[in-house]
Structure formats: C-alpha cells, structure tokens
C-alpha cells in the first residue's frame, strides 16, 4: 500500500489545486513585490466579492469558473477605479488604495450577506469565500486552478526581462523605449489573476498573503531575480501542501488560514536564518565589523605609544605591520576623500558599516557640528 493510496482522494485533489495556486502566486508575487504593487493586489482581492455576488445573481449558478470569472471582472474594475483616483484626482496612492479596498469590500459583504440572508437557491457557501473553502473543490476545479496558474506563470516568464527592468528601473526602461505603463498594467493584471484564482484556497481576506509572503521570504535568501522566483514558488507550494495536510489531519481547521500561517512561519525562519540578509547573519557581521574597528584603534594606539618611546609591552612584528598598513590606508583614503571625491563616490557604497554602528551619538554630533562649521561661508 503506497503513501498516496493511503491519502483520501479529496485531500489529494485539494492539495494539487492549492499547491498549483501557491507556487504560481509566489512566482507572480515576486515582480509585484519588487515593483511595490502588493497593496494593489489587496485592493483587487477585496473587490472580488462584488463580482462573485453579481455573477451568482446573473447566472443563478454557484459553479466555480463562473464565480471566478465574475471575481476577475470586478478585480480589474477596481484596479481601473484605483488608476482613475491616482491619475485624475489629488488622492495619494495609499489613500486611493484604502478607498477602493474599503468600499469594494463593504459592497461585496453587503451583496453576499443579502443573498444568503434571503435564502436564494444554491447560495449556501458563498460567504465561505471570505476565508476560502477548499473542501468543496472538485477534480475539475483543481484542474482549472492549476491551468490558470500555469498560464499566468508562463506569461510572466515570457516577459520576465521587461518586467524585471520595469521593476528595478522604470525611468530607464521608459527612456529606452519600453512601454512601462503597459507592462505595469500587465503585471498588475497577473497579480489580479492570482488573487482571483487563490480565492478558494485562502479567501478574499487572506489571499493577498499568498502573493506577498513567499516572495518576501525568498528575498531574504538571494539577490538574483531568477533564484527569487524559484524560491518564492517553492515556498508557496510548501505552504499550500503543509496547510492542506494539517487541515486534513485536524478537523474543523480552515485550510486558507493554515496555508498563510505556514507561509508566515517560512518568512520568520528566513528572516532570522537566511545566510546573507537574515537577522542572525547581519548581527554577526556587525559584531565582526565592530571588533575589527576596535582592534584597529588599539593597534594604532599601540604603534603611537611605541613610536613615542614610552615604556610598556612591545608589539609583535605582525601586529606592528598591521598597524602600519592601517595607518597607510587611512592616510590614502583621507587624500581620496579630500582631493578625489568622485573616486570616493565610485567605491564607497551602502555596504559600508553605518557610522552609528561604530561611533557614539555624542561623537557623531560633534563631528557633524565640526563639518558644518568647516562648510560655513566664513570658512570657505
């Protein structure tokens, strides 16, 4: 008896559908996060309930493809309203997103609650799309979710070069002739597609987490977009499979929230343990920088004491060589900073330790005051 044969058929169907959605949501979400369009997906997610309710009222059917199509139409319509508010009014981006999110969600809840309260035929279960309802997925539904997810990933990968360029440097992309606005809208539409497809898995309230958390977790592990896409997809897939497994093993636990909680756990592990951007790695690097800084100051002080002829312990040859080399580098860099500012700007990057990590606040304040006095008109 194999392991798969021991798992209930319905659990396998749900796991397959949700895993496909989780993988695609992680991949699509990478470019949305890099382009800072995460909250746009949240607005679209909350607007899907309007389309779901209207699709049911128009057709009288509770078929998943019909409901998802209605949700997609309302999601795209909400994005259109969002673009209108941003471009044709003086509303800030965050305020416009909050307006669309709040109004659309309120209207969607009103429609769905009104439908279920009146006992319209076949309306039972519509409200479960708030938090997802994977138990009702059929093999046909899982195939639909997987097909749409695959198509969305293929479309993104087909334009990954253009999408990456727009995500990292939109002004340069526009200057080189790329249709930035069209690419931006296409990316947001793909995010809306994944938000709609994720409704059965996580619901309108939590589906945005599937598009945001796996990419943010993957970003902790790499600086390469290709690696980030793979990791985000795997994190989304693992979150989906583990969430479905726990939901199947423990009765009365909703699958959608469990999937999101697993994704959040992966993010926490990534935040603390990632080898480059993780909190532990950064803390270790900071301690090493502080230690090297302190050791360098001690070496310089010891060399100055020896050169002055003061009595005391003698430095080893290795320590003396390190102190002399440190002094030479400091003198050269001082000359570069003073007489070749452009060269300094080319090589001194954000990767340098922050001054606040090495110097006391009072010392930094004194240095700033001295620099301001040196730049004052009286001293120029």
**Spans in the chain with pLDDT lower than 50:** 1, 380
Whole-angstrom distance, CA of residue 247 vs CA of residue 37: 31
Q: Given this model, what pLDDT does residue 223 score?
A: 86
Give the pair of three-digit tokens for residue 230. Answer: 């793979």
Per-residue confidence (pLDDT) for residue 380, from 0 to 100: 47
Closest CA to 64 of 11, 143, 155: 143
Distance (Å, rounded) from C-alpha 364 to C-alpha 134? 57
Residue 147: count of CB within 10 angstroms of its CB? 12
Three-state SS for 117-174 is HCCCCCCCCHHHHHCCCHHHCCHHHHHHHHHHHHHHHHHHHHCHHHHHHHHHCHHHHH
CA 181 to chain centre: 21
Count of positions (residues) in the chain: 380
Quote the CA–CA distance of 249 and 26 in Å, as a whole number. 25
Q: Nearest-CA neighbor of 27 among 152, 195, 132? A: 152
Q: What pLDDT score does 5 carry?
A: 55
**pLDDT at residue number 352:** 64
Strands of 240-355, DSSP E: none
pLDDT at 303: 83
Determine how many CB atoms are found less than 10 A away from the CB of residue 24.
30
pLDDT value at position 349?
62
Whole-prediction pTM value?
Answer: 0.77
Task: Considering only CA atoms, give the Rg of the chain.
Answer: 28
Backbone torsions φ then ψ of 310, nearest 5 degrees: -70, 150
Q: Hey, where are the domains in the chain?
A: 7-274, 280-366
Q: How far apart are CA 262 and CA 238, in angstroms?
A: 8
How many other C-beta atoms are found inside a 10 Å radius of the C-beta of residue 4? 8
177-207 pLDDT, tens per residue? 888 888 888 888 888 888 888 888 777 777 8
CA distance 219 to 180: 24
The predicted-structure confidence for 219-252, as pLDDT tens digits, reads as follows: 999 988 999 999 999 999 999 999 888 888 887 7
H or E segment at 301?
helix 279-307
CA distance 138 to 81: 34
pLDDT of residue 1: 43
7-274: which CATH number, 3.40.630.30, 1.10.3470.10, 1.10.10.10, 3.30.465.10? 1.10.3470.10
d(CA 4, CA 245) in angstroms, rounded, equals 13
Report d(CA 286, CA 208) in Å as an integer. Answer: 34
């Amino acid at each position: 008896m194999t392991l798969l044969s021991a798992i209930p058929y319905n659990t396998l169907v749900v796991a397959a559908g949700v895993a496909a959605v989780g993988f695609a949501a992680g991949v699509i979400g990478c470019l949305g996060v890099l382009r800072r369009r995460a909250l746009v997906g949240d607005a679209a997610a909350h607007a899907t309930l309007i389309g779901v309710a209207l699709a049911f009222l128009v057709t009288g059917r509770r078929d998943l493809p019909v409901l998802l199509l209605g949700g997609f139409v309302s999601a795209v319509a909400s994005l259109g309203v969002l673009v209108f508010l941003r471009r044709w009014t003086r509303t800030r981006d965050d305020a416009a997103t909050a307006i669309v999110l709040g109004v659309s969600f309120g209207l969607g809840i009103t429609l769905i609650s009104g439908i279920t309260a009146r006992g319209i035929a076949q309306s039972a279960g519509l409200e479960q799309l708030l938090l997802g309802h994977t138990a009702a997925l059929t093999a046909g539904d899982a195939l639909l979710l997987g097909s749409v997810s695959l198509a969305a990933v293929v479309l993104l990968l087909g334009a990954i070069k253009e999408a990456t360029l727009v995500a990292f440097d939109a002004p340069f992309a526009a200057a080189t002739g790329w249709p930035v606005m069209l690419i931006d809208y296409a990316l947001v539409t793909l995010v809306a597609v994944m938000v709609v497809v994720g409704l059965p898995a996580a619901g309108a309230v939590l589906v945005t987490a599937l598009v945001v958390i796996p990419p943010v977790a993957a970003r902790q592990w790499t600086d390469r977009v290709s690696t980030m896409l793979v990791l985000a997809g795997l994190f989304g897939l693992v979150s989906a499979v583990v969430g479905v497994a726990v939901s199947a093993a423990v009765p009365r636990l909703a699958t959608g929230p469990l999937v999101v909680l697993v994704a959040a756990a992966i993010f926490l592990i990534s935040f603390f343990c990632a080898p480059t951007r993780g909190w532990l790695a950064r803390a270790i690097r900071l301690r090493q920088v502080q230690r090297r800084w302190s050791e360098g100051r001690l070496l310089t002080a010891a060399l100055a004491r020896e050169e002055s002829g003061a009595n005391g312990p003698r430095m080893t040859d290795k320590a003396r060589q390190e102190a002399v080399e440190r002094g030479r580098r400091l003198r050269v860099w001082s000359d570069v900073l003073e007489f070749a500012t452009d060269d300094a700007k080319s090589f001194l990057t954000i990767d340098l330790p922050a001054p606040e990590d090495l110097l006391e606040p009072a010392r930094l304040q004194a240095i700033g005051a001295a620099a301001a006095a040196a730049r004052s008109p009286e001293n120029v």
